Amino acid sequence: MENQNLNLLDRALGLDGPSEPWPLSGRVVLIEDCVETSGSFVLHQLVKRSLSPTSSNVIIFVAFANPFSHYDRILRKLGCNLVTQRDNKRFIFFDMLMLRCPDVDEGKSSEGGLVLLYEKILKTICGLPGDKKDYVTIMIDDISLVEVAANGGSDYVLDFLHYCHALTSEFDCSLITLNHEDIYSSMERPTLILQMEYLADILIKAEPLSTGLATDVHGQVWLSDYLSSQRT
């Protein structure tokens, strides 16, 4: 049952076919989840598919939520060795757990920290060999913690996401982000999550079943593809 569900997700994203050209090239994917139903499994599945032996993808993984060992353990169970991929320069891990912008002169420090992160991503892409530069996937786990690192400066987070979005246009890379929808559900106008939904080409929502909790089915996944009249 689980394999069938994963295959449905792969089919919906176009990942069940040939790996090249990468179906998600130049596209922005937003994964939304909540406390009751985590969407991390979608991110892990996309890591596994991106690093399949038949593809040339390189992942730049910006981790605010968990250390490398966490993802390594999970992906091993899915049949993917992240240590080997890291050594092969196909999985580039940015450990951002300790990024905390100082309180002094909050605004400039928060923005400055994200500017440096953007610069690091850009230089990493530009430093890749020519044949790999066109197959980059940027993954960010997760945006709510980027906001925490920026001392709640959601405007700076949006600026950072805008620049990452510009990278998809400049280098034809993919951008995959995760955010928690229920954090913003109590706000009258949840600007950050709405702005992210506007930026996204594909929205994947993980939510609990309408019938409630079940032992063997943890929730449902809903995928919206805002194609394609806007793409060549």
* Residue 195 interacts with another protein (CB under 8 A): yes or no: yes
> Between residues 68 and 163, which has the closer beta carbon with respect to another protein?
163
How far is it, in rounded angstroms, from Cα 30 to Cα 199? 9
Residues 146 and 140 sit within 8 Å (Cβ to Cβ): yes
Binds another protein by CB under 8 A, chosen from 41, 94, 118, 171: 118
Stretch that binds another protein, among 27-35, 41-49, 131-139, 197-205 (CB under 8 A): 197-205
* Residue 182 interacts with another protein (CB under 8 A): yes or no: no
Place of tokens 């066109």: 134
How far is it, in rounded angstroms, from Cα 25 to Cα 88? 21
Cβ of residue 84: shortest distance to another protein, in angstroms? 30
Binds another protein by CB under 8 A, chosen from 12, 65, 148, 158: 158
DSSP, collapsed to helix, strand or coil, labels residue 224 as: strand
CA 192, chain centre distance (Å): 16
x-or-dash pattern for another protein, window 125-154, by CB under 8 A? -x----------------------------
Indicate the Cα dihedral angle 91, 120, 204, 81, nearest 10°.
Answer: 10
* Residue 65 interacts with another protein (CB under 8 A): yes or no: no
Binds another protein by CB under 8 A, chosen from 97, 166, 213, 214: 166
How far is it, in rounded angstroms, from Cα 95 to Cα 98? 8
User: Which amino acid is residue 46, in one-letter code?
Assistant: L
Using CB under 8 A, list all residues that contact another protein.
115, 118-119, 122-123, 126, 155, 158-159, 162-163, 166, 169-170, 189, 191, 194-195, 197-198, 205, 207, 210, 220, 222, 224, 226-230, 232
